With several copies, the nearest count.
Chain A
Amino acid sequence: MLSLSRSETSYNKPESCRVTIKQIVAPNYCRLTFKSPVVAGAAYPGQFVMVYMPREHKYLLPRPFSIFRLNRVREEVSILFEVKGKGTELLAHTKRGSQLRIMGPLGTGFPALPEGSLLVAGGIGIAPLVFLAAAEGKPCTLIYGARTASQLICPPDDLTLPNLTILEVTEDGSKGAKGSVSDLLPGLVSGAPALFACGPRQMLRAVKALCGHSGPPAWFSMEERMACGIGACLGCAVQTKTGYRRVCRDGPVFSAGEVFFDD
């Protein structure tokens, strides 16, 4: 179990890091591990890194990825991502041993996890929750859902944690229970002291509805398009009870009650 220091914010710049492991974990899904004493030394669950594109490319913006695994001893940090567009496609072609610029750790992550918490992951939303479970080491239950089996791609080596009970669910029943995260939740939510979720907007919306007023405190890791990643440009706004807030600085983790999903 790692000790976490959630109060500190580190003010790092992008640094060039060696890719020590590159793994295509499934078609369209890739895991990259970087050597980064800076990120590995300071990150806590729910935080993210910005990965920069090569200079000669026409893509200007760095891409945000949750920290998926962290190894303080080896000073390594891993991300797990889905190939969605041009940037992630390029990243999936990175070769082991090459150098990529990354900046981090960034953002305000998850609060401390009480024993017996419920983690809810939709598809690639698994990434920050694995870090959370691994770092805290307390017994907890993970609902890991997706549309179909080919989207439940988290490598077993990363997912097999002694403290983690895993319930898989797919909409087409191709793996685990058949149904959606919302089908499993009602039975589990009432006993949990806290809930931590990451996944598609519709899933988060459903989770929020199910938690309602009487449910446990819930924490969501949100996504929005980013430019600076450090809170300067106001590009990554999400609508909250208190107005627009920045995913990159005020989040990416917000309390469920705070964020709106009406769109």
Chain B
Amino acid sequence: MIKPDLTVNLGGIELASPVLAASGPFGYGYEYLKRIDCSALGAIIVKGVSARPWAGNPPPRLAETASGLLNSIGLQNPGLEQFEKEVMPRLKGMAPRLIVNIVGCDIGEYAEVAGRLDGMEGIDGLEVNISCPNLRAGGIAFGTDPAETFNVVSAVRRQTSLPLLVKLSPNVSDITVIARAAEEAGADGLSLINTLSGMLIDIETKKPLLGNTFGGLSGPALLPVALKMVWQTAEAVNIPLLGMGGITSAEDAIQFMMAGARAVALGTAFFYEPEVAEQVAEGLRGYLEKHEIDAIGKLEGIARKGGPADAR
């Protein structure tokens, strides 16, 4: 029996496993990494970091929906300085690979964060969140406009030589336009998708359930939407994709790979099952063995016409 190769190269980041922890649900990683065996994770993408501390949104920040979760954390984070002083040392040796998600109120802040992280030891890549729908004055504008996307990604690109992923928002008419703008601006890979914008109302108080009115929908509910966007984007760009959105099993992960993702990230699934990454990695291995496929990379894009995507 073959021992399948699970390694992939995601825009310059060599990963021992194609299963990542998505930015946000996994926090900065330590809470989970104390509980679970992280060897199944190729990398963790830590929660968004801004130049100065962000307070986040008023509670309640969570609401459960059918097969989904609405959150309006609002990118609460301690800011770059504390991140460097307190978070990074704690992550030392703990994480497999570390990708830092970056956020900003304006292009200047994005660039500032990218520049400072560029020099920091222990960081394997950056993920630019141009898409978070939670923050009123935040990323939303960038991620829904190709020109703004180009500008912010270019600005970040100038500040860093680290592998650069750009995380796309699904709240757009045509994600491929944004994807191409990010590629042209120098992204090494694309992460998709972020949460879909949504809300719930408490019919007894007659008010929105979330303190911030709107939140982002994640979880299995949005999987088919995410999968389609990965498929479309894979046809539109020539850089690798990190697929995410509702993945809870190896079967889900394989769908994303067959649609064109090189690797996948898990988010909401950790809430239900902290050991989900092990389960997914184990399931991927099992699928490859059963089908006698020697490397996970061979699944990339095979469901799309023309078979195996251009292997890079």
Contacts and interface: CB of A to CB of B under 8 A. Distances in A.
A219 to B, nearest CB: 20
A48 B35 CA distance: 17
A233 B48 CA distance: 12
Interface string A221-241: 000111110111111111100
Contacts, number: 101
Given A12-B35, A61-B271, A244-B76, A234 B27 contact: yes
B62 A13 contact: no
B220 interface: yes
Nearest to B56: A244
Interface stretch (B67-75, B89-97, B148-156): B67-75
B203 to A, nearest CB: 12
A61 B56 contact: no
A13 B60 contact: no
Given A225-B60, A237-B56, A244-B55, A60 B26 contact: no
A227 B63 CA distance: 9
Contacts of A52: 272
A61 B63 CA distance: 10
Contacts of A239: 58-59
Please classify how large the interface on chain B is, using the bins under 10, 10 to 19, 20 to 34, 35 or more: 35 or more
A232 B32 contact: yes
A125 to B, nearest CB: 19
Contacts of B26: 232
Main SS class of interface, B: loop
A204 to B, nearest CB: 15
Contacts of B62: 61, 225-227, 235-236
A250 to B, nearest CB: 12
Contacts of A227: 25, 62, 69, 71, 268, 271
Given A58-B67, A228-B31, A235 B61 contact: yes
B24 interface: yes
Contacts of A27: none
Contacts of A14: 273-274
Interface residues of A, number: 31
A60 B68 contact: yes
Nearest to A238: B59
B240 to A, nearest CB: 27
A235 B216 CA distance: 12
Interface in B12-63: 24-29, 31-32, 34-36, 47, 55-56, 58-63
Contacts of B59: 224-225, 236-239, 244
Contacts of B56: 234, 237, 244
Given A58-B66, A244-B76, A230 B35 contact: yes
A62 B268 CA distance: 12
Contacts of B219: 60
B294 interface: no
B252 interface: no
A205 interface: no
B270 interface: yes
B27 A233 contact: yes
Contacts of B69: 60-61, 227
Contact of A228 (B25, B28, B63): B25
Given A234-B73, A237-B59, A13 B31 contact: no
B275 interface: yes
Contacts of A237: 56, 59, 61, 73, 76
Contacts of B271: 60-62, 227-228, 233
B58 A232 contact: no
B94 to A, nearest CB: 13
Given A228-B31, A234-B56, A237-B76, A60 B61 contact: no
Contact of B71 (A62, A232, A235): A235
13 contacts: A14-B273, A58-B66, A60-B68, A60-B272, A103-B274, A224-B59, A225-B64, A227-B62, A228-B32, A231-B27, A232-B25, A232-B270, A236-B59
Interface of A: 11-14, 52, 55, 58-62, 103, 224-228, 230-239, 243-244, 249, 263
CB-CB nearest 10 A-B residue pairs: A232-B27, A232-B31, A235-B62, A225-B62, A11-B34, A58-B66, A227-B271, A230-B31, A231-B31, A11-B35
